[in-house]
Amino acid sequence: ARTLSSTLELEEVLLRIMDQVEEMLNVSAGFLLLKDPSTEDLTFQIGLGQTKNIDYFRIPKGKGVAGHVAVTGKPMHVEKKEHPIDFHAQNLLCVPLVLHNQVIGVLEVLNKKEGHFSQNDLELLASIASFAAIAIENARLHESVLDERDRVIEAEEQARKALARDLHDGPVQLVSSLSMRLNFCQRLIKERPDQLVKELPTAMQLADRAVHQMRTMLFELRPLALEVDGLESALKTFIDRQQHDISEKQPTRLNLTIETDNPQGHLTRQDSKVETALFAIVQEAVTNAIKHAQSNHVQVQLRETATALYTTVADDGIGFNVDEMMETYSQRGSLGLINIKDRTELIGGDLAIRSVSGKGTKIRIFVPKAHQERLKKRGQSGVLSNSKRVQTGILSKSLNGTKH
């Protein structure tokens, strides 16, 4: 146990598991398989001895000795004379890797070099497997934390770049134009003061636009309306500002609909973390629809029931292939959808993304209002719930989408 817990690197943990198995059981071959949560197939992770150089294979759910052990959770000792065995083995032991009463994989050894496997051998392998399951979980958690740290750093870097770009393309350009206009006005005072009356309104318009853009940026960075008045007020302000800013550039129309069971007719104030996350999700989704989806209409809907909040952002833009987008997102230099997914998981919500080529995209988020229910759902999702080696997709559906 001490040997297995002395490292948090997953590859090193797997190597040490197999080294201990080989040393303590004196076998010719063996391998460790982990369960793919999405299919419950067993996937090869590492081998020893004669199976050490195997690259990869999968065992469908319930197939063979390993599949049977993974389904039943019970160890098996098989002799060739009693049962057909793969890998040209004469005998084998197979035990489940169990964590929190769930089978996460199996550990199988083949062909004892001297004699036959005994009950003591089976119990020893089961003991190694119990420590191995804990070590694998610790390594997965460590790996996930490192991945999350890298994601946070990348998100911060992107936020800084976006802020610098928006400042340069917006207020900085306007202030620069204002400065040149004021210099021109200064010359007019000396040379043609009668023309000054015509120029000052233009300078004032530039100043007003610069102030508006800076206030919009400050609102998006820290929406005080969210802290003071809640999600409903903040979203109304956000949608109004976005509509004002895009009305002169493109024909996209934004619409916000709020439905609630609250007798007062307004959304009930929620936990600040929930409100902040939902605001950021809507902000990200609407911004993506405006900048990238070529949408004519963007519909934002919030519906509150006695037990949950339902948030939908739908556009009629070009659509995209959800699976392809998620697989290649890190190479695109943008983390928009990843941020939406992570924020949803952090507040214990469910996310569904549906996109159809040429027919737009719909993002739906379900969040329970009960704190304990959100905590329970957080334990079933997020970066710490799945192994990095076994990839699972976002809760999504993409119908003949195109790359976006």
CB 148 within 8 A of CB 383: yes
Q: What is the pLDDT along the chain (404 residues), one digit of tens a residue?
A: 455 555 667 778 888 888 888 888 888 889 999 999 888 999 998 888 877 778 788 999 999 899 999 999 999 998 876 666 665 678 889 999 998 899 999 999 988 888 888 999 999 999 988 888 888 888 888 887 877 777 777 767 777 777 788 788 888 888 999 899 899 888 888 888 888 888 888 888 889 888 888 887 777 777 778 888 899 999 999 999 888 877 656 678 999 999 998 888 889 999 989 999 999 999 999 988 988 888 889 999 999 999 999 999 999 999 887 777 766 655 554 567 888 888 898 899 999 999 988 889 999 999 999 988 888 777 554 433 333 333 323 333 333 333 33
How far apart CA 128 and CA 126 sit, in angstroms, is 5
Alpha helices, DSSP H only, in 224-295? 224-229, 231-246, 272-291
- Sequence-separated contacts (24+) of 23-27 with Cβ below 8 Å: 24/124, 24/128, 25/93, 25/109, 25/112, 25/121, 25/124, 25/125, 26/112, 26/113, 26/114, 27/109, 27/110, 27/111, 27/112, 27/113
3-state secondary structure of 71: helix
3-state secondary structure of 78: strand
How far apart CA 136 and CA 211 sit, in angstroms, is 54
Domains in the chain: ranges and CATH? 2-146 (3.30.450.40), 229-404 (3.30.565.10)
How far apart CA 308 and CA 288 sit, in angstroms, is 26
How far apart CA 215 and CA 225 sit, in angstroms, is 13
**pTM assigned to the model:** 0.56
How far apart CA 129 and CA 132 sit, in angstroms, is 5
Helix (H) or strand (E) holding 123: helix 119-167
3-state secondary structure of 399: strand
- Which residue is listed with tokens 């207020």? 171
